[in-house]
Amino acid sequence: MRVSVNWRQSCAYVGTLLKYLAVTMLVPLTVAVVYGDDQFVFLASMVITAGIGLALERLEDGADLGLEEAFLFVTLAWVGVSVGGTVPYLLAGFDTASTVGLSLDSPAALGNSLVNALFESTSGYTTTGATVLEEISFERHSHALLMYRQLTQWLGGMGIIVLMVAILPELAVNGAQLIDAEAPGPELKKLTPQIAETARILWLVYAEFTALFICLLYALHLLGVAPNMDLYNAIAHGFTTLPTGGFSPEANSIAAFSPAVQWLVIPFIIVAGTNFALFYFVLQRKFAEVFRNRELQGYVGAIVGITLLLWAMLFTGAAPALGGLGGTTQGVAENSLRQALFQTVTLLNSTGYATSDFAQWSEWTQVLLLAVMFIGGSAGSTGGGVKVIRWLVILKAARRQLSATVYPDVVEPVRLGGQVIDEDVVSGIFGFTFLYLFIFAVSAVIIALDTGRVGLQLTTIEALSASIATIGNIGPGFGMLGPFGSYLQFPATSKVLMIVLMWLGRLEVVPVLVLFTRSFWEW
Amino acid sequence: MRVIIAGAGRVGTRVAAELARNHDVVMVDVDADRTDGLGYELDVLTVVGDCSSIETLRESGVESADLLIASTGSDEINLLTCETAKSLADVTTVARVKGLKYIDTWDRAEDVFGVDFMVGTNLLTIGAAVGGTGLEAAQDFDVFAGGTVQMAEFNVESGGAIVGKTISEADQFESLTFAAILRGGTTIVPRGSTRIEADDDIIVIGKPASVHAFGAKLGHAESPTRNVLIVGGSDIGYHTARLLEERGLRPHLLEADPDRARALSERLSVTTVRNKDPTVRDFLDDERIEDIDVVVAALDRNSEANLLSALRAKQVGIDRSVAIVDHGEYVELFEDAGVDVAVNPRRATAEEIVEFARDQDTQSVDLLEHEQVEVIEIRIDEESILTGRPIEEAIGDLPDGVVVGAITRNGSFLMPRGDTVVESGDHAVVLADSDVAEATINLL
């Protein structure tokens, strides 16, 4: 077989990416200096990551990225950052009780520690928010490492490739191709003629919302309604809300904070699942374009509908008191509305925060929440999952099927908000969604069998949620994977599968799977 | 008046035949064979050459011409000819276009393309074809301002829903002006307190949907929604469907070519477009005949097939059939054969152009059947008596019996109220007594 894809150039760009990744570690390094812990870890991590990056860059041959190379680069880039991102976990946890630290006790322990670190790193960059940390506390982990964990989600949220296109002029040539392969949603909508400018706008909007959110969180603290939302926590949660991440340096996630904080987090989670291009239109005062957007209508409509349903369930006592962790008392409106709305938005658009241990809610609320996980955010947002727009198109196409039954010769395009969706896009959406659901189903079975093999019996909903929570980049599931639980007990084989699922989910399956076809590599 | 007609096709020839009786007509065409014959047939001067070139226009005497009518088969050449003529001389220009997009552009701003008057072949035909559907109660009917405004005359039957009501009680429709009531030979300008009597003729001007709704209200047992089957996805078929959609109907359209069907279905969001060959004999067999009220046969350049489709529709018992005819001479023949309405785009266009030539500032004049009143569409310019002042103020300077029925600005409907200020460039649809129509036109 003669490989006709110029993989060297793709790898060289991954090197460049890792070089810049080393620079971002200045953030946790600063935290390390402030709190006086782990400075060495982050200095060493920077040196190692930059070293790998520079070594890879030597593969460079100056060729432009073609279509194949672009796919290869995007897919490898996410492998690259995930692998490069393990270094701080491994170093900081070396020879401690940390489950993600490097362990040289035995070959098995070494393997486990590497898989765990890669799981945590991938979960971070793909904004999944699933964790294998045994205990999230400052006794076990340094402030710097937990902040680094938050930062990975922020970097992954709007897309590392989008960020690279925004700052590296040499990537602008093929930028649209690259962003299209990475960005969530069926189609890329260019905001400006130049793709680098579009990428810059997206990141700027993203950064501005993050800054605003951090300021508001800290303002609540200063106002005295959020005692434990100090500056560290404000920044930490700012880093993981807008990317629909879900990591938190608090073991109890958002349940650790006051209702005021929880109410403030909700609108920002909703914003994170909205197409960021719409905020650009808001700035341009094209309000009609925003309100007419069918996906936004569908997204908000789904949130409202499901929240009302869940609210009714909670109001009638579906979640008995859970020991301070967001239990709802039957008949209390505010509490049950807050819990219903928060859990709906956080699972619908794949954030994965929690204000209540929904794994202990009644069976039927859990089934509802599991269904919600399949919806996903909007195209062009930081949310994961199938995405609202795809479901809308599928529903419209299904309705067309019905009218074709009455008039077999009818010619009817699929329309969304008056706009005609190309047939290629429609069949692409069908293809994607079936592939996605297929992978989900097969993975759920494999996870169930694999955990059964090591004597860990998963319930049905646990197995299903493990699969959707990772491919959908959501994070928490049900049972032992609940919002305050962890993925630590899974065997390494299942964790590897989940790492792949997170990776597939973040890149929306197709750009990854195409690498495993023969026609991709050969002419 | 010296008139240059560019393009000696069917429309051009028809217009020339009308105008040559009273005016000096020069005909320009690239095809020498065509012009040769014309010189003998009609009392016109002929020039051979490309009408969009400066030389040919000079040769045909554009400097001393009063009116230039560009009616070649190509929209673009027609527009270019007008533009060129304008740059050479101060001549009034008329362009005949087929594509609706040019009319949209032209409606939006003044002096676009150097065209003073634009006649849209298809739009007129469609107005005529669609006019019959959904407005059965109307005795007379016309479209103005590119379809934005409609005028209809209804007879109030005794026992009808609005008999005995005052105008303000009957006026439950958005953007609808009650322009006149004709009662026993006299014209009444309706006020809010005017009471409607049985056997009155009411003329309303307004938005298509409102005129349609008013007609439906008068139309007694007639169901307001009408099912229209359009046969053939030609340009005319497309615009018919579009206009019906605007009126709130959900037509079906049959088109044989899959690509064309797809393109149409992308542009028509309400119409059910179906990929089916309507030229076969039994195309109606699997349709739900009893549900179809009107069949519009609008196949491209295929009069015979249109005739057959329309006749076939009548044969299976469909109430009304409309056929588009390519040859003007066949209009009567079609109607004799049993088609309810036969429409010839060219004939309609020629009539429109002749109408314009007769009164250059007036855009469209509709003489109602009993000739008591006329409805006039005029593009308001700087000199008009209406420009820049509220209507209630300007109306004082106009003869009695003049009603401003509708205003369109940049192609959208504007309901005229007493305090509405008319701007230069607006189109006004005005109703006037026949005796004062001439004077009104001059003032406007």
Task: Give, as one character, the DSSP assignment of residue A406.
Answer: H
Q: A509 — phi, psi (to 5°)?
A: 65, -60
Residue A24 has which token pair?
């971002």
CATH homologous superfamily of B138-218 equals: Regulator of K+ conductance, C-terminal domain (3.30.70.1450)
Q: In terms of domains, do A441 and A307 share one?
A: no
The C-alpha atoms of residue A492 and residue A495 are separated, in whole angstroms, by: 5
Per the domain annotation, does A378 fall within a domain?
no
The residue of chain B nearest to residue A408, with distances taken between CA atoms, is: B274
Virtual CA dihedral for B424, B427, B429, B434, nearest 10 degrees? Answer: 60
Residue that has been written with the tokens 């179809």 in this structure: B292
Taking phi first (over 0 means left), then psi (-120 to 50 degrees means alpha), and beta for anything else, what does residue A224 get? left
Q: CB-based contact (8 Å) between B261 and chain A?
A: yes
Contact A409 B276 (CB under 8 A): yes
Mind telling me how many Å the CA of B128 is from chain A's nearest CA? 27
Residues in chain B with CB shorter than 8 Å from the CB of A420 are 266
- What CATH code is assigned to B226-315? 3.40.50.720
- B432 burial (CB, 10 Å; 0-12 / 13-18 / 19+) is buried
Return the CA Rg of chain A. 22
pLDDT of residue B278: 81
Q: Average model confidence (pLDDT) for chain A?
A: 89
Indicate if the alpha-carbon torsion angle A91, A94, A98, A100 is positive or negative. positive
- What separation, in Å, do the N-terminal and C-terminal C-alpha atoms of chain A show? 10
- Chain A positions in Cβ-Cβ contact with residue B272 (cut-off 8 Å): 403, 407, 410, 412
- Taking CB atoms and an 8 Å limit, are B272 and A403 in contact across chains? yes
Q: Could you report the per-residue pLDDT of A207-227, keeping only the tens digit for each?
A: 999 999 999 999 999 999 989
User: Who among A410, A413, A415 is closest to B274 (CB)?
Assistant: A410
Q: How many domains does chain A have?
A: 3
Digitized pLDDT (tens) for each residue of chain B, 444 residues in all? 888 999 988 888 888 888 887 788 899 998 888 888 887 888 888 889 999 899 999 998 888 888 899 988 888 999 999 999 988 888 888 888 877 778 778 777 767 788 887 887 666 666 656 654 445 555 566 666 655 677 777 777 776 677 777 877 777 777 788 888 878 777 777 777 788 887 787 888 887 777 777 776 775 444 445 788 898 888 888 888 887 887 678 889 999 899 999 999 988 888 999 998 887 777 777 777 778 888 888 887 778 888 888 888 888 888 778 888 877 777 778 878 888 777 777 777 777 777 666 655 344 455 454 556 777 777 777 777 778 788 877 777 777 777 887 887 766 777 777 778 888 777 788 877 777 777 777 776
Note whether residue A429 is domain-resident. yes
Percent of the residues in chain A that have a pLDDT greater than 90, as a whole number:
53
Residues A396-419 as b/e (b if ≥16 CB within 10 A, e otherwise) read bbeebeeeeeebeebbbbbbeeee
Provide the token pair at A192.
């400006």
Q: Is A308 inside any structural domain?
A: yes
Which spans in A361-478 are helix H? 363-372, 388-406, 423-453, 460-471
The answer to whether the CB atoms of B266 and A412 lie below 8 A apart is: no
DSSP assignment string, B118-157? EEEHHHHHHHHHHHTTT-TTEEEEEEEGGGTEEEEEEEPP
Domain boundaries, chain B: 2-124, 138-218, 226-315, 350-443
Q: Do domains B2-124 and B350-443 have the same CATH topology?
A: no
Residues A245 and A273 in one domain: no
Identify each DSSP E strand in B157-305 by its residue range.
Answer: 176-183, 186-188, 201-206, 228-231, 252-255, 272-275, 294-297
Closest Cα in chain B, distance from residue A404 (Å): 10
Domain with A300, as residue range(s), is 265-372
Q: Which residue type does B304 have?
A: E
Which residue bears the tokens 């782990």?
A38
| A183 inside domain | yes
User: Which candidate, B124, B186, B179, B123, places its Cα nearest to that of B154?
Assistant: B179
| B2-124: CATH number | 3.40.50.720
What is the model's pLDDT at position B110? 66
What fold does the segment set B350-443 form as a domain?
Answer: Alpha-Beta Plaits (3.30.70)
ipTM: 0.71
Q: Which one has a higher pLDDT value, A340 or B242? A: A340
A237 lies in a domain? yes
